[in-house]
């Protein structure tokens, strides 16, 4: 494992990529909500994977990328295809049939909480420090506040199946982050293309069975599906892989704190969802947890 990429100090480009991911993914939940008006959950999930693959794989070929070599790289790409594409996108599409877009985005704040302990044991150079543990606790309190008692109580009931699916998606993303970090140094676009190829193969049977009939979806819905496939899946996967392989999965996990805030704002502004004072308090706690967890003992 000596050829695992050495983590670099986050640069301005790193923060810009994280900002782009926050905006893309925070908006995606609302776009999925609109698409589900006409399309089924499996159609949305298949569109995200298949259209994303149709965008990323040709781009990788046209830009001269070669297939990653070595069993560990193929294992990493396979893990990416399963844990960051096929599985979480299927779970989230299914969950959003009953879970509001803002709430679905909130569950993504659980990703850093899963990543921190996983990274401590499985990702070199990302041990759980006291600062990270303190941020973990603060962020966890914020997540619980944002979820609210009704949501937490609903997890144990049949009506909480959507929330359980969201939690499963968050865990899947966390596992995918760690396994991507453990993948030997690889061109992120080539690795993303191979990951999409794996995910597309997994989703192909469902896509063939449930692909929309001509005329069954409006042009608006098709535009949304193409947008979340190319941008939310394809472009976002390249950005995500680049961030993880250069500055680490814990730095990347900060997206999980900021995406729910963006999703809530989008849901309130464009989706007719409501925002209470507890939501504002929770967002403040989540941001505080992120700041503490990413803090350093020594000032620059």
Query: pLDDT tens digits for 21-79?
Result: 889 988 999 999 999 999 999 999 999 999 999 999 999 999 888 888 878 888 989 99
pLDDT of residue 54: 93
Q: How many domains does the chain have?
A: 1
What's the rounded Cα separation, in Å, for the pair 1 and 105?
A: 35
Query: pLDDT tens digits for 90-116?
Result: 999 999 998 888 888 877 877 877 877
Report if residue 61 sits inside a domain.
yes
Report if residue 5 sits inside a domain.
no
- The range of the structural domain enclosing residue 133 comes to 12-293
Report if residue 32 sits inside a domain.
yes
What's the rounded Cα separation, in Å, for the pair 60 and 260?
A: 31
**Sorting pLDDT into bands at 50, 70 and 90, what band is 123?**
low
Query: pLDDT tens digits for 167-195?
Result: 899 889 889 888 887 788 788 888 889 99
Query: pLDDT tens digits for 221-259?
Result: 999 999 999 999 888 888 887 887 777 766 776 676 678
Low-confidence winner among 76-90, 103-117, 282-296 (lowest mean pLDDT): 282-296
Report if residue 298 sits inside a domain.
no
Report if residue 156 sits inside a domain.
yes
Across 187-196, b (16+ Cβ under 10 Å) vs e yields bbbbbbbbbb
Report if residue 28 sits inside a domain.
yes
Query: pLDDT tens digits for 135-162?
Result: 888 887 887 786 676 666 655 554 467 8
Judge contact between 16 and 223, C-beta under 8 A: no
């Amino acid at each position: 494992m000596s050829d695992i990429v050495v983590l670099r100090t986050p640069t301005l480009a790193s923060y810009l990529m994280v900002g782009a991911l926050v905006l893309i993914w925070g908006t995606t939940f609302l776009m999925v909500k609109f698409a589900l008006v006409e399309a089924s959950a499996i159609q949305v999930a298949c569109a995200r994977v298949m259209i994303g693959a149709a965008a990323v794989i040709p781009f990788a070929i046209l830009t001269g990328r070669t297939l990653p070599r070595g069993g560990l790289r193929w294992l990493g790409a396979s893990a990416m295809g399963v844990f960051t594409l096929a599985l979480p996108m299927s779970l989230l599409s299914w969950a959003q049939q009953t879970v509001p877009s803002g709430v679905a985005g909130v569950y993504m704040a659980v990703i850093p909480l899963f990543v921190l302990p996983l990274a401590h044991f499985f990702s070199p150079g990302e041990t759980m420090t006291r600062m990270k543990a303190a941020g973990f606790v603060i962020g966890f309190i914020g997540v619980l506040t944002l979820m609210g008692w009704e949501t937490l109580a609903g997890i144990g009931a049949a009506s909480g199946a959507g929330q359980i699916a969201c939690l499963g998606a968050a865990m899947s993303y966390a596992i995918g982050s760690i396994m991507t970090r453990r993948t030997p140094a690889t061109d992120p676009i080539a690795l993303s293309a191979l990951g999409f190829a794996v995910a597309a193969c997994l989703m192909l049977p469902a896509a063939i069975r449930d692909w929309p009939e001509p005329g069954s979806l409006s042009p608006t819905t098709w535009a949304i599906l193409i947008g979340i496939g190319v941008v939310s899946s394809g472009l976002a996967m390249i950005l995500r892989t680049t961030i993880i392989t250069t500055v680490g999965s814990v730095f990347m996990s900060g997206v999980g704190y900021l995406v729910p805030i963006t999703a809530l704002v989008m849901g309130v502004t464009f989706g007719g969802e409501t925002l209470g004072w507890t939501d504002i308090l929770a967002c403040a706690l989540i941001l505080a947890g992120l700041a503490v967890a990413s803090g350093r003992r020594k000032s620059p």
